[in-house]
Structure 1
Amino acid sequence: MRTPKLTDAAVQAALALRAGWSLENGRISRTFTFPDFVAAMRFVNAVADAAEAADHHPDIDIRYNKVTLALTTHDSGGLTEKDFALAAQADTIAA
């Protein structure tokens, strides 16, 4: 069953709760900065585990100690609660 796409108002309300995340081209994204490459890869692996458990996979861009996550729910055609739930998990993992 497809996860319902959020309205623009719901997206803005959810985004207001996620410090550091921004809306770009129908996706939410955030760049996380770590002390070094090893710490960045630990984060990526933990996010990958959370994403696999949720069956919801972000786009991940790794640049040495910077990791950018971009989220959207492709099969729903936009942003859903799944995106904001994984964003919250990524924030917790990074903390």
Structure 2
Amino acid sequence: MKTTLTGERCVACRKGAPRLTDAEIAGLRHEVPEWEVVQREGMPVLERAFPFPDFAKALHFGQRVGELAEAEGHHPAILTEWGKVTVSWWTHKIHGLHRNDFIMAAKTDAIYKTEAHHSVRKE
């Protein structure tokens, strides 16, 4: 499914901004269907593991996600392992999920699609 989120930019989020409701999360999940909402330290986090054929390609992908995060001013947890990168998005200031997290998940997927053309995917 084509996403509209990749065309959006993150907006500044202040402490106390409303978190997404369960209904809002459900409405956005169809745009990033391979991402899961998991609980980490009592808060919802949007998370996905991306497979790679080796550490070098995984590391390169992690770097590209980091560059995106800097450009947007919104930063994930990125765990790079041999053959896999796990990316977790949530909004630190509100201790939960915001539309920004779904925007960044969609943009992370777009980077992965570009990277997948340069390497053999292992799933």
Instruction: State TM-score, norm by structure 2.
Output: 0.72
2:28 to 5, 8, 14: 14
In the alignment, structure 1 segments of 5+ residues that lack a partner are none
2:45 to 18, 22, 27: 27
Give the percent of matched residue pairs that are identical in Structure 1 and Structure 2. 38
Asked if 1:47 is matched to 2:65, the reply is yes
Deviating 4+ runs (over 6 angstroms): none
Q: For structure 1, which segment, 25-34 or 5-14, has the greater mean C-alpha deviation from structure 2 after superposition? A: 5-14
Structure 2: distance between partners of 1:59 and 1:48 = 9
Give the Å deviation of 1:16. 2.1
Count of aligned pairs between the two proteins: 95
The structure with the largest alpha-carbon Rg is: 2
In the alignment, structure 2 segments of 5+ residues that lack a partner are 1-12, 114-123
**1:7-30: per-residue Cα shift (whole Å, max 9, x none)?**
111111111221210010100100
Which has the larger helix fraction?
Answer: 1
Instruction: State TM-score, norm by structure 1.
Output: 0.92
Q: Which amino acid aligns with 2:53?
A: P
CA RMSD after TM alignment? 1.2
Q: Contact 2:31/2:106 (CA < 8 Å) preserved in 1?
A: no
